[in-house]
Structure 1
């Protein structure tokens, strides 16, 4: 299958997922008419989304999965979701980073995508509690053999979560002793009421330390994270300097966010607020 076909399938599944979540359920025949594809194609898409754990198939269609606030999907399950949005967000977020900066990247699939866009930014110091993010830089340095201008990567210790983040007292102590210019933070959920949240209690505490050690906090989150609430809140929206998201964020959410954040960056669109 070509890259273009893969992209089309990814976009189609994103549309299906949005439709399921927005309407609370859809039927196969409605999706075939809306998308202009065959029943078989829609059913394959539903099978894929069901394997990723984001919908539940029912007779003749699909309904959204209602997740408990303690449910934490693994890295592989999350990595297949909203791929285009994450790439757009990563590209926009990378443009905020200057050479020679000290930055921190939390765990998550969006920060993982961001790490790959930062490989060409020289002389970075990168603090991360993500095994996956650290691997991006280490793999690139080993394959290129380049030392000059390569990022210095500080990987915290800690206990590994299902999303391949390192959390707990060891990670917290390491982060508390550091200070960085910018923190790029992936989140499980973001809302006006709960702020930033995660289903993992230990990860919430580690994220609090990251926020406290950063001069600027930049949340990187696709539109599906808006309105999601995990078990533990670790920061209020007012503690966030910038939210970088994708164009799927609805107008009402943008209006709410603009009341609480200094800057909203929608990837592929004009920056919606003045520079900090």
Structure 2
């Protein structure tokens, strides 16, 4: 009887996995395993079966919707995914900011988390094209916020286009904090949208060093448009669920990798 029940249980579990991937765009095997209450080994087998049916694409340590390389997930979806990891990454990245700094901060939910961490800083100038970043710093008395011009790109609540790029041309800041949808040793930081990528390059181009913020679901992933070449990434801030082998390849390109420990991983 137990043997007869296994196929039905597996089918229900795979349907749930498919629902999760469709809702989030991409997910790590670990996060899927927690959601469906199964081992990562079982989930990996399920993902292979779903890939064989053309329903998902396997990625290093996770699964994505087919054709995910060109897909831009909604801001709400990205904000809800890996919230604890993003908070830990933001806290770690904030320690790289010094009094008197001028920094650029790009769009994204992890960048917004960083802005919230920086709200208590003093003698800091933040240049950003992100409405969410600016809003997070709205009441920060010690932070001067400078917005670029540009055209609003709704999915990420950010300003893009020629006006934003022209505003950044000629500026010089200490550090640029950027996020994206993937970061790898082969292509560096990447994003699905060409307009977003173009402004990201401008944000990076006016900085003395570039700091990439990427949770474990982005590590080893590639998306359509490269923004920052691997050798231009001075620091990579990620979480302790990132694939250590991929982190080693990124270190070999010259990036200093900072691994933030998520609170629940400490048993707290």
TM-score norm. by structure 2 comes to 0.74
Counting only pairs closer than 5 Å after superposition, residues 3-82 of structure 1 correspond to structure 2 as 17-19=27-29, 31-32=36-37, 34=39, 64-82=64-82
Match of 2:176 in 1: 183
Contact kept in structure 1, 2:181 and 2:221, CA below 8 Å: yes
1:207 equivalent among 197, 200, 206: 200
Contact kept in structure 1, 2:104 and 2:175, CA below 8 Å: yes
Q: How far, CA to CA, are the matches of 1:182 and 1:68 in structure 2? A: 30
The reply to whether residue 156 of structure 1 matches residue 148 of structure 2 is: yes
Q: How far, CA to CA, are the matches of 1:172 and 1:229 in structure 2? A: 24
Q: How far, CA to CA, are the matches of 1:178 and 1:218 in structure 2? A: 17
**Structure 1 residue 197: deviation in Å?**
1.0
SS in 2 for 1:183: strand
Q: How far, CA to CA, are the matches of 1:255 and 1:74 in structure 2? A: 30
Q: How far, CA to CA, are the matches of 2:39 and 2:224 in structure 1? A: 36
**Structure 1 residue 137: deviation in Å?**
1.1
Counting only pairs closer than 5 Å after superposition, residues 74-93 of structure 1 correspond to structure 2 as 74-93=74-93
Q: How far, CA to CA, are the matches of 1:81 and 1:27 in structure 2? A: 13
SS in 1 for 2:28: helix
Moved over 4 A (4+): 25-28
Q: How far, CA to CA, are the matches of 2:37 and 2:251 in structure 1? A: 37
SS in 2 for 1:223: coil
Contact kept in structure 2, 1:20 and 1:64, CA below 8 Å: no
CA separation of 1:123 and 1:239: change in aligned 2, threshold 3 A:
same
**Structure 1 residue 67: deviation in Å?**
3.9
Deviations 1:157-206 (A, max 9, x none): 11222111211100000011311101111111111222211111111111
SS in 1 for 2:249: helix
What stretches of structure 2 of length at least 5 have no aligned partner?
Answer: 1-23, 41-54, 57-62, 263-268
CA separation of 1:137 and 1:27: change in aligned 2, threshold 3 A:
closer
Match of 1:3 in 2: none
1:239 equivalent among 232, 238, 253: 232
Contact kept in structure 1, 2:27 and 2:217, CA below 8 Å: no
SS in 1 for 2:76: helix
Cα RMSD for the two superposed structures: 2.6
Q: Which moved more, 1:205-214 or 1:167-176?
A: 205-214
**Structure 1 residue 20: deviation in Å?**
7.0
Contact kept in structure 2, 1:223 and 1:245, CA below 8 Å: yes
**Structure 1 residue 233: deviation in Å?**
1.0
The size of the alignment, in residue pairs, is 217
Match of 2:50 in 1: none
Q: Which moved more, 1:225-234 or 1:84-93?
A: 225-234
CA separation of 1:71 and 1:119: change in aligned 2, threshold 3 A:
same
2:257 equivalent among 259, 264, 274: 264
Deviations 1:58-79 (A, max 9, x none): xxxxx74234322111211110
TM-score norm. by structure 1 comes to 0.72
